[in-house]
Amino acid sequence: MIELENVHKSFGAKKVLQGVDLSIAKGESMVIIGGSGTGKSVTLKSVLGLVTPDQGRILVDGQDVLQADRDAFLARFGMLFQGAALFDSLTVWQNVAFRLLRGSLKRPKEEARSIAIEKLRRVGMKAEVADLFPSELSGGMQKRVGLARAIAADPEIIFFDEPTTGLDPIMSGVINDLIREIVVEMGATAMTITHDMSSVRAIADKVAMLHDGVIQWTGPIAKLDDSGDPYLDQFIHGRAEGPIEAIR
Amino acid sequence: MRLLSPLAHIGRAVLGLLAATGRVTLFAIDGVSHIVRPPFYGREFLAALLNIGWLSLPVVGLTAFFTGGALALQIYAGGARFSAEAVVPQIVAIGMVRELGPVLVGLMIAARVTSSIAAEIATMKVTEQIDALVTLSTHPMKYLTAPRVLAALLVVPVLVGVGDIIGIYGGFIVGTQQLGFNSATYLKNTADFLEIADIASSLIKGCAFGGIAAIMGCYFGMQSGRGAQGVGQATKASVQAAAVLILAANFILTSVFFTT
């Protein structure tokens, strides 16, 4: 279970998070939506300890993330980055097996490679791509490799940062379906940040909307269309008029 | 108030410089401390050795060769003014080993290696590869900084040694082929004049300059701002800082070694 309690974060004079409270149950797929610059990425990075909150607590299974043993803590996580964030100097399989080639989860090289190829197959890629470099792949293929890397060590918790940004609608649908299938199949807890409503409907069990540094609304995906929240309604219908100021 | 304004500017600049010095020093201590603490990343270390050492050999060799040759010509022409043309082998040797070899190799490493390290790490930062490293339980200082700094500390003295030899060889070629020196006499004068302390000072300078070059590349890469502009500025700042620090360190080390 992931719990954020009154989390604040500022960068200089800019207050990004102003008291975020959010709870994600074990095995649940939570999608955080919100406009650009509302602090979705900061929220996600705070849970991972990549950003330290100014105030408040973040607990994972009751343990404060800032006091946890970093290696053991991070070994429970997998993350798909917005731009995939694959390592240019390593081949596709070495990227996927990165965690399996070093540190506490280290395996023999052949075993790590075969796990990497199995994970690549799981995300719909052939074994032939294993020895290519990331720069030789298209954006959609890089996302798939990023997804394979995120699930390579069978994590309990998976984060997805804007998983469909920059992809065409068909590839977005493929990635959304893959994420949903993998999360269900692994029984993992998932936290996704996106402003792509097709992703929200495909991936989410629950949705939280971040606005003005706080969670404006949270509830199950089934309640998304009749929430009665004017902020959420404006956002999901993409209206320029409403309580959320749109800069023209 | 207007009168105090220039003082305030100076004060801000000094405080900024002191803060930057502190940040770089803490970064350097952190980076060096990771060299001696496991886990160690052998593959990254070997890649850094190859990039910093082996692949720098052509530029180091050419720089040293031409500098040695030019030095021989200058000393011969200058020495002729007071009938001291015969000192070419000795001055080329001492000039290359004590001063020009380490400084020129240091500056070439700053241009070639510091810029490449800074650009690579800055790009990794901009594309979230550094964050990805952290989420994959890998400390960026251990994986990126420690192997590069260790490789530079070990291999730049070797490059300086090679540069010294090639520089002396450049002087030898010019001396014997153009200035009429006897080759055996040239080599004997070179060997007789150089002392172990000269060679040791050259290699110690190389070690210091290598450390500076790698640390500056890593520091500015890690501190990079966003986008292509951030990468460009990090690269530029890293080379400037490395070059100035190498020249300053050279002055300090020369004062320590040779003014007693």
The CATH number given to whatever domain includes residue A2 is 3.40.50.300
The answer to whether residues A202 and A243 belong to one domain is yes
In this structure, are strands A189-193 and A29-33 parallel, antiparallel, or unpaired? parallel
CA pair distance B218, B210, nearest whole angstrom: 12
**Chain B residue with the nearest C-alpha to that of A158:** B135
Question: What confidence score (pLDDT) does residue A53 get?
Answer: 93
Please give the DSSP secondary-structure letter assigned to residue A89: T
CA distance A99 to B185: 61
Cα–Cα distances in angstroms (integers) from residue A80 to residues A29, A91, A152, B144, in the given order: 15, 17, 11, 21
pLDDT of residue A248 exceeding 60, the answer is no
Please report whether residue A166 resides in a domain.
yes
- Distance CA(A112)–CA(B138), nearest Å, equals 17
Q: What domain range includes position B243?
A: 41-255
Residue A184 tokens, joined: 């269900």
pLDDT score at A72: 83
Q: Is residue A81 part of a domain?
A: no
pLDDT at position B4 over 80: no
Q: Say what the pLDDT of residue A50 is.
A: 86
Query: First and final CA of chain A: distance in angstroms?
Result: 40
Rounded CA separation B6/A208 (Å): 52
Is residue B222 pLDDT above 80, yes or no? yes
- Same domain, residue pair A149 and A222: no
- Same-domain status, A15 and A117: no
Distance, in Å, from the CA atom of A43 to the CA atom of A135, rounded to the nearest integer, reads 30
Tell which phi-psi region holds residue B60, choosing left (phi > 0), alpha (psi between -120 and 50) or beta.
alpha
Domain finish residue from A154, A177, A202:
A154
Judge whether B2 lies within some domain. Answer: no
Does some domain include residue A248?
Answer: yes
Per-residue pLDDT at B260: 62
Residue B50, in any domain of the structure: yes
B14 lies in some domain = no
Contact list in B for residue A47 (CB cut-off 8 A) is: none
Report the residue from B39, B47, B127 with minimal CB separation from A103: B39
Place of tokens 């291999």: B155
Q: In chain A, how many H helices and how many E strands?
A: 8, 10
* Neighboring chain B residues of A74 at a CB cutoff of 8 Å: 134-137
- pLDDT confidence bin for B181, thresholds 50/70/90: very high
Place of tokens 């003082």: B7
Q: Give the burial string for B45-63 (b: 16+ CB within 10 Å, else e).
A: beebbebbbeebeeebbeb
Element (H or E) spanning B30, and its range? helix B5-35
Q: Answer yes or no: do A71 and A161 share one domain.
A: yes
Q: Is B192 part of any domain? A: yes
In-domain check, residue A172: yes
For residue A159, what are its two tokens?
Answer: 């984060």
Residue A227: which pLDDT band, with cuts at 50, 70 and 90? confident
Q: Residues A89-97: what's their mean pLDDT?
A: 95
A94, A129, A154: which is the final residue of a domain?
A: A154
Q: What's at A63, amino acid-wise?
A: Q
Same domain, A15 and A104: no
Is the domain of A167 the same as that of A212? Answer: yes
| Same domain assignment for residues A61 and A26 | yes
Provide the whole-model pTM: 0.88
Number of domains making up chain B: 1
Distance CA B46, CA B52 (A): 10
Looking at A106, A123, A154, the residue that finishes a domain is: A154
Token pair for residue A236? 């999901």
Give the side-chain half-sphere CA count within 13 A for A223: 13
Residues A142 and A209 placed together within one structural domain of the fold: no
**Is residue B208, in this structure, part of any structural domain at all?**
yes
Helix, strand and coil percent figures for chain A, each rounded to 5 = 40, 25, 35
- 8 Å CB contact between B246 and B192: no
Residues of chain B with Cβ-Cβ distance to A134 below 8 Å are none
- B131–A45 C-beta distance less than 8 A: yes
**For residue B204, pLDDT beyond 90:** yes
pLDDT (tens digit per residue) in B120-148: 999 999 999 999 999 998 999 999 999 99
B18: in domain:
no
Which residues of B fall within a CB distance of 8 Å from A11? none
CA–CA separation, A94 and A106 (whole Å): 13
Same domain flag for A68 and A171: yes
A62 and A119 co-located in one domain: no
Q: How many domains does chain A have?
A: 2
Same domain, A148 and A162: no
How many CB pairs below 8 Å do chains A and B form together? 50
Question: B128–A75: do the CB atoms touch at under 8 Å?
Answer: no
Please report which confidence band the pLDDT of residue B1 belongs to, taking 50, 70 and 90 as the band edges. Answer: low
Q: Which domain holds residue A136?
A: 86-154
